[in-house]
Amino acid sequence: MLAYLARRIAYGLLVLVGINLVTFLLFFQVNTPDDMARLQLGGKRVTPDAIAKWKAERGYDRPLYVNPQAQGLRQLTDTVFFDSSARMFAFDFGPADSGRNIASEIRRRAWPSLALALPVFIVGLGVSITLALGLAFFRGTYLDFWGSVICVAMMSISSLFFIVAGQFVFARLLQLVPVSGFDVGPDAWRFLLLPVAISIVARLGGETRFNRTLFLEEINKDYVRTARAKGLSEPAVLFGHVLRNALIPILSSSVAVIPLLFMGSLITESFFSIPGLGSYLIEAIAAQDFAVVRAMVFIGSVLYILGLILTDLSYSWADPRIRLQ
């Protein structure tokens, strides 16, 4: 187990190094520091002195990879690459191009993103599994047929429609919840109730249909017929045998959601004005703040790699036959 974890972590570090290099090349070779300065300062009429001052304030006036004017190890550390990319491995993101500290902004905005994404992940997964088990239990009936039709219809509707319709009906017409905004106090649930519900509904059709397909595949296997022959009831077969054996593909599909627990939902946070990491990334892209974008790409990559490792560990929990070597 420990050898497997060490090997996966080593592979993950190599992947992070590759992502870091590609990100740096995209931002500093395609867009030079001079281009970034012009975007931040206001276009083509910016003077060379203003560009030089902007670069000096942010350390972009140094060489990209090797500094021949420095001595010893500082030839590599006193460079734009080390300050902008290498330090990220110590989670030192430095200042944004706008001047604010990136790490403090991430810490401040991580909690609203978690408050939104964690209920969506847990409740959404539980509801989709429960509905899929219900459709599998009533397989071949009108309930299963119309349930599948509704799932396909929900998959065909854009999440933007659910957001706009939910805001119009529940916030403007019925005035049950605020249209947008966020509060860190006891009233936070009033601002989170609608975006959480809409996020769950928007992804419910696809997840329910996917889980239903997994359960139907398991139902026709020999071990299920053996369990029925032993006299087990259908609910006991579904929850005690079918669900457990279908957990591995369900866990695999849940990996892609793990980064969203911390990174936030770009669309939902933007429409509901939730000051999370998703809206932070949107604001950085709109303001051409490349330092923030690079930091968010790095954090998303770290979280995705950790999600893959946790998924492998959960495999051995879901299926004792799996050994991590």
Residue 221 and residue 171 share a domain: yes
Residue 323 falls inside a structural domain? no
Residue 197 and residue 119 share a domain: yes
Residue 96 falls inside a structural domain? no
pLDDT, residue 261, reads 64
- Whether the predicted pLDDT of 33 surpasses 80: no
pLDDT, residue 189, reads 85
**Angstrom distance (rounded) from CA 41 to CA 291:** 15
Taking all residues of the chain, what is their mean pLDDT, rounded to a whole number? 82
Residue 205 falls inside a structural domain? yes
Assess contact for 103 and 87: CB atoms under 8 A.
Answer: no
- Whether the predicted pLDDT of 220 surpasses 70: yes
Residues 281-305: b if buried by 16+ CB within 10 A, e if exposed: beebeeebbbbbbbbbbbbbbbbbb
* Burial (Cβ within 10 Å: 0-12, 13-18, ≥19) of residue 190: middle
Give the DSSP letter string of 48-91. HHHHHHHHHHHTTTS-SS--TTS-TTHHHHSSHHHHHTGGGGGT
The number of folded domains in the chain is 2
- Whether the predicted pLDDT of 146 surpasses 90: yes
Sole residue written with tokens 């919840």: 177
**Angstrom distance (rounded) from CA 23 to CA 5:** 26
Residue 86 falls inside a structural domain? yes
Residue 300 and residue 173 share a domain: yes
Residue 232 falls inside a structural domain? yes
- Whether the predicted pLDDT of 57 surpasses 80: no
74 or 17: which leads in pLDDT: 17
Residues 234-282: pLDDT tens digits? 888 888 888 888 887 887 777 667 666 666 577 888 888 888 888 888 8
pLDDT, residue 143, reads 92
80 or 156: which leads in pLDDT: 156
- pTM of the prediction? 0.78
pLDDT, residue 319, reads 64
* DSSP 8-state class, residue 209: H
pLDDT, residue 323, reads 65
Assess contact for 165 and 222: CB atoms under 8 A.
Answer: no
Residue 62 falls inside a structural domain? yes
Residues 129-145: pLDDT tens digits? 999 999 988 888 999 99
Q: What is the CATH number of the domain that holds 235?
A: 1.10.3720.10
Assess contact for 178 and 170: CB atoms under 8 A.
Answer: no
Confidence of residue 102 (pLDDT cuts 50, 70, 90): confident
Residue 163 and residue 138 share a domain: yes
Q: Which domain holds residue 53?
A: 2-90
231-to-2, 222, 238 alpha-carbon distances in Å: 42, 15, 13
- Whether the predicted pLDDT of 58 surpasses 80: no
pLDDT, residue 145, reads 93
pLDDT, residue 131, reads 93
